[in-house]
């Protein structure tokens, strides 16, 4: 498939997690900003499984012990799933479901479980034999679609569309899976978004900083659906797992936080379908622009699961009406249900990359590299009550409208 995979972007000094008990968590600024402690009183993501399609997941880190379901990976795609060759997949898993034990990263959904899929990316080492044995992302997507995982996290991307990958995405969508992907780190260059984020039925996630402003590196265009924290916190930066590196910035991390946010919601509402989870994310996202005019940089706004969890009577709308059906080209879940082939396991947990996409899909040629946004000294307000309500982009010294056309098939 030719996926482009690498580090999360900029890194600085490393530090040993065992030497500074809660140091990693103290640098996860968004946990306080998103009121994680309050959310965990209502939901930890328990009962939700998230497929992490990435560079592998090291299940032996202090934060992931007991969190990784290796026995649920089919043998056809189970080659060395816990052998993470660059630390990226393990970081994503910890950001989603890490327990924080031993001073490790604390996941936003620590009650959720990870189903790991180690796939072949451009930086895979080991020669032809290793690459031949390592599954293609397409095979992993299809395997995850057939699994009990409700959410599929894809923090990777490729420069151009693949018909096989698109078919796999549609297959997963028809099974009721929530598909979440990083939009890419090309914001300071072309800004283009890659695949799978640019495919229909995939929620593309951009990165935002502490002020709920779009990160300069975050790709932009008409495939951005949401933004989540993706800047200014630690992550694993190599395969040795001796120390984290600070400031592992990237939309990969943002996608992981978005997947964890969805897990928190789905855990509390196990009878909801993927459409209802998606609609709840749209309805509660922080934005200052109309919901039907998504931003080129932040989509429908910043992810705010707290707004769903605080309302036990939250109305998520119709189960079999895709809130993005017009953009996606139809509701595959509804079509499957009508055909009698929908999977009940995908609607209820009780029944039940890797870098970013650097190309394709941007409307216009404007980069977010020079963007600024009004901010507040109250970060909790920005991420909980207002989201990106003040995020008015200023590009090249002039104000610019940042609405965009939605994705088209």
Give the pair of three-digit tokens for residue 182: 């990083």
Catalytic-labelled residue, pool 43, 54, 63, 346:
54
For residue 23, CA distances in Å to 1, 28, 120, 233, 243 come to 38, 9, 32, 11, 12
Q: Name the DSSP letter for residue 386.
A: I
Contact 379, 29 (CB under 8 A): yes
Give the pair of three-digit tokens for residue 18: 């065992």
**Considering only CA atoms, which of 335, 318, 346 is closest in space to residue 49?**
346
What kind and span of H or E run contains 15?
Answer: strand 14-15
What φ, ψ does residue 282 adopt, rounded to 5°? -65, -50
Catalytic-labelled residue, pool 43, 84, 88, 362:
88
Catalytic-labelled residue, pool 158, 243, 252, 367:
252
What kind and span of H or E run contains 14?
Answer: strand 14-15
Buried b (16+ CB within 10 A) or exposed e, 169-204: bbbbbbbbbbbbbbbbbbbeebbbbbbbbbbbbbbb
CA terminus-to-terminus distance, the chain: 20
Euclidean distance between CA atoms 200 and 178, whole angstroms: 12
Active site residue 18: no
Active site residue 88: yes
Give the pair of three-digit tokens for residue 318: 């119709």
Euclidean distance between CA atoms 164 and 150, whole angstroms: 21
- The residue to which tokens 């939605």 are assigned: 406
Active site residues: 54, 88, 252
């Amino acid at each position: 498939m030719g996926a482009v995979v690498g580090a999360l972007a900029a890194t600085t000094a490393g530090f040993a997690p065992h030497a500074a008990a809660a140091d990693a968590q103290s640098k996860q600024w968004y946990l306080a900003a998103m009121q994680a402690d309050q959310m965990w009183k209502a939901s930890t993501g328990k009962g939700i499984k998230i497929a992490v399609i990435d560079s592998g997941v090291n299940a032996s880190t202090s934060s992931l012990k007991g969190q990784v379901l290796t026995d649920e990976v089919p043998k056809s795609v189970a080659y060395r799933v816990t052998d993470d060759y660059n630390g990226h997949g393990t970081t994503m898993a910890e950001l989603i479901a890490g327990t924080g034990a031993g001073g490790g990263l604390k996941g936003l959904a620590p009650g959720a479980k990870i189903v790991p899929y180690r796939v072949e990316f451009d930086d895979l080492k080991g020669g032809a034999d290793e690459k031949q044995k390592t599954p293609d992302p397409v095979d992993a997507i299809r395997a995850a679609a057939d699994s009990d995982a409700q959410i599929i996290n894809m923090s990777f991307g490729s420069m151009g569309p693949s018909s096989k990958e698109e078919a796999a995405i549609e297959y997963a969508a028809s099974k009721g899976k929530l598909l979440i992907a990083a939009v890419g780190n090309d914001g300071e260059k072309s800004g283009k978004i890659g695949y799978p984020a640019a495919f229909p039925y995939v929620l593309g996630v951009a990165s935002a900083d502490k002020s709920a402003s779009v990160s300069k590196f975050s790709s932009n265009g008409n495939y951005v659906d949401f933004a989540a924290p993706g800047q200014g916190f630690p992550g694993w930066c190599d395969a040795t797992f001796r120390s984290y590196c600070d400031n592992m910035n990237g939309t990969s991390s943002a996608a992981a936080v978005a997947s964890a946010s969805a897990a928190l919601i789905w855990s509390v509402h196990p009878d909801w379908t993927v459409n209802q989870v998606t609609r709840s994310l749209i309805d509660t996202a922080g934005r200052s622009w109309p919901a039907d005019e998504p931003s080129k940089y932040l989509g429908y706004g910043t992810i705010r699961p707290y707004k769903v969890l605080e309302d036990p009577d939250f109305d998520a709308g119709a189960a079999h009406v895709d809130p993005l059906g017009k953009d996606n080209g139809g509701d595959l879940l509804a079509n499957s249900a009508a055909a009698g082939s929908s999977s009940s396991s995908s609607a209820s947990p009780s029944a039940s990359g890797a870098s970013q996409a650097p190309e394709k899909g941007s409307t216009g040629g404007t980069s977010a590299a020079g963007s600024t946004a009004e901010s507040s000294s109250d970060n909790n307000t920005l991420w909980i009550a207002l989201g990106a309500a003040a995020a008015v982009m200023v590009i090249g010294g002039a104000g610019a409208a940042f609405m965009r056309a939605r994705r088209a098939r």
